[in-house]
Amino acid sequence: MTDVESSPEEAKISLRNLSMVIALILITAFFALHPKGGMFLSPQNLYNLSIELTVTATLALGMLLILLIGEIDLSAGSGVGMIGGLAAVLITVHQWPAIASLISSILVAVVVWWAMGTLIVKARVPSFIITLGGLLIFKGLHWMVIENATVPVAPGGQANLYSLLTTWDFPRIGSWILVGVVAFALTVQAIKKRKSQQTHGFKVEDGTTAFLKVFVAIQGLILLVIIMNQHKGVPLALVILGVVATCIYLITSHTKLGRYLYAIGGNVEAASLSGVPVMKVTILAYVIFGIIVALTGFLQTAYGGYSTTTVGALMELDAIAACVIGGTSLKGGRGTVAGVLFGALIMAVLLNGMTLLAVSPEAKLIARGSVLVLAVWMDVFMNKK
């Protein structure tokens, strides 16, 4: 069964999606046509952009889980610096094996974010206050761990595995095999989803529209591989982003935990009365976010090649902006993985372009703040009845 009429909510989503596409096109065109932006669309810069997108999007996907339940985390950026720096010091200074260092750092992140989630739900302290305190504490701990110095993470020795996160690339034939696997998975998923909707009597798109969506996605992947292969190949970091995005998608769309996240964000009282374990779900959301913060810390530190006092600065704001641009509500209960990825792409393009044009640090801060304010304003505007 199909329904050709669009609801007001669907119209809002379509308008938001259209505005995001237009914004991305305009930003890309500006940097590409700028006299100093001749390298913006070069394979080398697009390769770098893909890694920068991975860092921004990975953290934003974790932030999605927190925003869905109507909470927030302002400590994420400082946590990225702290966990990435901890792993770097364990490997470089204390000569720990890379695997042991990375796993130990992840466990630290799990404990820390479990503690914050527990304080938020059991001590009933607003997440804004807890994570704001975490922002300052983690930043101080980060500086203590690296002793206010620069700890290098360079290829060679125990640090080699760490640096490979953003320096290893799939060979060209491997990239094409990867695309084939992903294209097959997308096709199977689309067919299964359509059959499931028909079986349960839900509204489904017409066959042509469904086919075009999958076709365009596959064409985009092919174009991506062609561009990446003109430089070094598809970076491992981009594949890591794909794995994280898939995991978050499965959690939010195909698990009981995902349904609970949306229910809590939609109406926490009603969710509690319906038997949703609000405390456990909230704590679990923060624990998963802690793991993603650790992974982002590894990626950011490896990409920079070192841990220093500025690593992770303001990254939580970029993550929040990416979520809101992509349609995630700050009040909770609404947000998608696809929207977050698109919002992260807009943020990554903006930051990459400003760096390429050698924009001053103060202008970058103004631009990032303006984007965040604009994104929140759009969220409020689009939800006015």
User: What's the mean per-residue pLDDT of the chain?
Assistant: 89
Which among 312, 273, 253 has a CA at the least distance from the CA of 83?
312
What's the whole-number mean pLDDT along residues 38-63? 94
Dump pLDDT digits (tens) for 220-271.
999 999 999 998 889 999 999 999 999 999 999 989 999 999 999 999 999 9
> Quick check: 104 pLDDT over 90?
yes
Tokens coding 9: 């909510």
In the chain, ranges of CATH 1.10.3470 domains: 39-168+235-382
Instruction: Find the range with the poorest average confidence among 99-103, 114-118, 197-201.
Output: 197-201
pLDDT at res. 164: 87
Amino acid 383: pLDDT: 67
Residue-level pLDDT at 307:
94
The C-alpha atoms of residue 80 and residue 57 are separated, in whole angstroms, by 13
**pLDDT class for 23, splitting at 50, 70, 90?**
confident
Residue 5's pLDDT band, with cuts at 50, 70 and 90, is very low
pTM higher than the cut 0.95: no
Averaged pLDDT for residues 196-204: 77
Range among 109-113, 147-151, 371-375 with highest mean pLDDT value: 109-113
What is the average pLDDT across 189-216?
81
Per-residue pLDDT averaged across 183-202, rounded? 84
pLDDT at 7 over 60: no
CA–chain centroid gap for 20, Å, is 17
Q: What is the pLDDT of residue 110?
A: 98
List of residues 6+ apart from 141 with CB closer than 8 A:
82
Res. 131: pLDDT tops 90: yes
16 — pLDDT class (breaks 50, 70, 90): confident
* Mean pLDDT lowest among 13-22, 23-32, 206-215, 357-366: 13-22
Three-class HEC string of the chain = CCCCCCCHHHHHHHHHHHHHHHHHHHHHHHHHHCCCCCCCCCHHHHHHHHHHHHHHHHHHHHHHHHHHCCCCCCCHHHHHHHHHHHHHHHHHCCCCCHHHHHHHHHHHHHHHHHHHHHHHHHCCCCHHHHHHHHHHHHHHHHHHHCCCCCEECCCCCCHHHHHHHHHCECCHHHHHHHHHHHHHHHHHHHHHHHHHHHHCCCCCCCHHHHHHHHHHHHHHHHHHHHHHHCCCCCEHHHHHHHHHHHHHHHHHHHCHHHHHHHHHHHCHHHHHHCCCCHHHHHHHHHHHHHHHHHHHHHHHHHHHCEECCCCCCCHHHHHHHHHHHCCCCCCCCCCCHHHHHHHHHHHHHHHHHHHHCCCCHHHHHHHHHHHHHHHHHHHHHHCCC
Instruction: Give the CATH architecture of domain 39-168+235-382.
Output: Orthogonal Bundle (1.10)
Q: What is the mean pLDDT of residues 337-355?
A: 93
pLDDT above 80 (res 37):
no
Say if CB 129 and CB 75 are below 8 A apart.
no
User: Which pLDDT belongs to residue 12?
Assistant: 63
**Percent of the chain at pLDDT exceeding 70:** 94
The long-range contacts involving 186-195, CB below 8 angstroms and separated by at least 24 positions, are 186/214, 186/217, 186/218, 187/214, 187/218, 190/214
